[in-house]
Amino acid sequence: MDLHKLISMLADGEFHSGEEIGECLGVSRAAIWKQIKRIEELGLDVFKVTGKGYKLSAPIRLLDGDRIFDGLNSSASSWIRKLDVLTITDSTNQRALDLADTVAGKGYLCFAEYQSQGRGRRGRKWVSPLGSNLYFSMVKEFANGAAALEGLSLMVGLSIVNALKEFDIGGLSLKWPNDVILEGKKVAGILLEMTGDPSGLCQVVIGVGINVAKSKMMDEIDQAWISLGEVSNSSLDRNQLAISVVNSLVASLEKFEVEGFAAFRPGWSEYDALKGRSVSLATANNSINGDVVGVDDTGGLLLRTEGEVKCFKSGEITVRLES
């Protein structure tokens, strides 16, 4: 049975009888029951009431590829060569990596309602329940290898913040290198993966996950997190959110290609959640304590440690309790 059709039927949040579903989708009661179980495993709450049928605990608005494409501005839509909205996939980053060096892949944008193996930075898992959040990846080609990518992940974080401002969401900040923070908790993450020639023509997959609504499945996340729905007055349409974030991202990428991260540094500093804070930076070999000064023109972290300011290109930050 086509799971997407069943989810689309239930999306209105109303009751649908087994008979109605069976007739529409041409399947048996037993097959429906099996797929309802599957939908629950993927993260949606389904009520089952004898005599009435099945109903989602709340209506959902599914992602719609045509609507997203139509809402994009001319720079973003002319960049796209292929746009997919997948109901279930392992990871949109993986789908994008698989296509990255094909013609279509050079302007590929891939959304998913559910990821079975959503991945985060540093080998972590990105919990990706069905229909609640935004998960997408896009492929961008760069001519000058890894050196031209300095600060790219910070730029992506800033462009997400700029897009979220359109939805009247206050209390946003950025935690180096690229966590988007809302009221002190993580609301969005970015994972860049590169393929191709590291010193020449390469393709970068930009993967973005934004928490939009709470879901039981997200209880397993082991860090402080929040969803946009917790602070937004109106119900957020993920399609509209997708349009704004992609428009913002494409505009920023065009500027980044010409001017590099330096052009985004003032904007990033405005939202810097760590400036002036005492932190520990865990690098590959050791842990360094210091006070954050800011970021430099390449997106490196400037840390005052042992009386001098040093620049770090990677590492994991923990904020220290100030005494």
Catalytic positions, please? Answer: 121, 186, 320
Provide the 3-class DSSP secondary structure of residue 179: strand
CB 121 within 8 A of CB 317: no
Q: Is residue 91 part of the contact set for ligand BTN (CB under 6 A)?
A: yes
Residue 189 interacts with ligand BTN (CB under 6 A): yes or no: yes
Q: Does residue 194 bind ligand BTN (CB under 6 A)?
A: no
Smallest gap from residue 175 Cβ to ligand BTN (A): 10
> How open is the CA angle 191-194-196, to the nearest 5 degrees?
165
On whether the CB atoms of residues 37 and 6 are closer than 8 A, the answer is no
Contact range with ligand BTN by CB under 6 A, out of 17-25, 118-126, 299-307, 315-323: 118-126
Cross-strand pairs, 83: 109
- Regarding 256 and contact with ligand BTN (CB under 6 A), the answer is no
| Three-state secondary-structure class, residue 180 | strand
Rank residues 32 and 190 by Cβ distance to ligand BTN and give the closer one.
190
Q: In whole angstroms, what is the distance from residue 195 CA to residue 244 CA?
A: 27
Q: Which of 209, 290, 299, 315 binds ligand BTN (CB under 6 A)?
A: 209
Pick between residue 30 and residue 224 the one whose CB is nearest to ligand BTN.
224
Q: DSSP class of residue 132? A: T
Rounded distance, CA 162 to CA 178, Å?
A: 14
Length reported for the chain: 323
Angle at 261 between CA 103 and CA 186, to 5 degrees: 90
Environment class of 310 (CB within 10 Å of its CB; exposed 0-12, middle 13-18, buried 19+) = middle
CB of 109 to ligand BTN, least distance (A): 12
Q: Does residue 203 sit in helix, strand or coil? A: strand
Region of 23-31, 201-209, 217-225, 284-292 interacting with ligand BTN (CB under 6 A) = 201-209
| CA pair distance 36, 48, nearest whole angstrom | 9
d(CA 60, CA 10): 9
Q: Binding to ligand BTN by residue 157, rule CB under 6 A?
A: no
Give 177 or 290: the residue with its C-beta nearer to ligand BTN.
Answer: 177
Cβ of residue 58: shortest distance to ligand BTN, in angstroms?
22
Q: Which of residues 120-139 bind ligand BTN (CB under 6 A)?
A: 120-121, 124, 126, 135-137
Q: Give the shortest CB-221-to-ligand BTN separation in angstroms.
A: 10
Q: Name the nearest CA neighbour of 96 among 223, 88, 107.
A: 107
Q: 118, 129, 151, 260: which one contacts ligand BTN (CB under 6 A)?
A: 118
Smaller CB separation from ligand BTN, 53 or 299: 299
Stretch that binds ligand BTN, among 113-121, 138-146, 290-298, 306-314 (CB under 6 A): 113-121
Rule CB under 6 A: which of 57-76 touch ligand BTN? none
Biggest alpha carbon–alpha carbon distance for the chain: 74
Pairing mode, if any, of strands 108-115 and 134-142?
antiparallel
Count of residues of this chain found to bind ligand BTN when the rule CB under 6 A is applied? 20
Give which of 82, 75, 137, 77 is closest to 104, Cα–Cα: 82
Identity of the residue, 208 or 279, whose beta carbon is nearer to ligand BTN in the bound complex: 208
Of 186 and 304, which has the nearer Cβ to ligand BTN?
Answer: 186
Stretch that binds ligand BTN, among 14-22, 89-97, 156-164, 284-292 (CB under 6 A): 89-97
The footprint of ligand BTN (CB under 6 A) covers 91-93, 115, 118-121, 124, 126, 135-137, 179, 189-191, 207-209
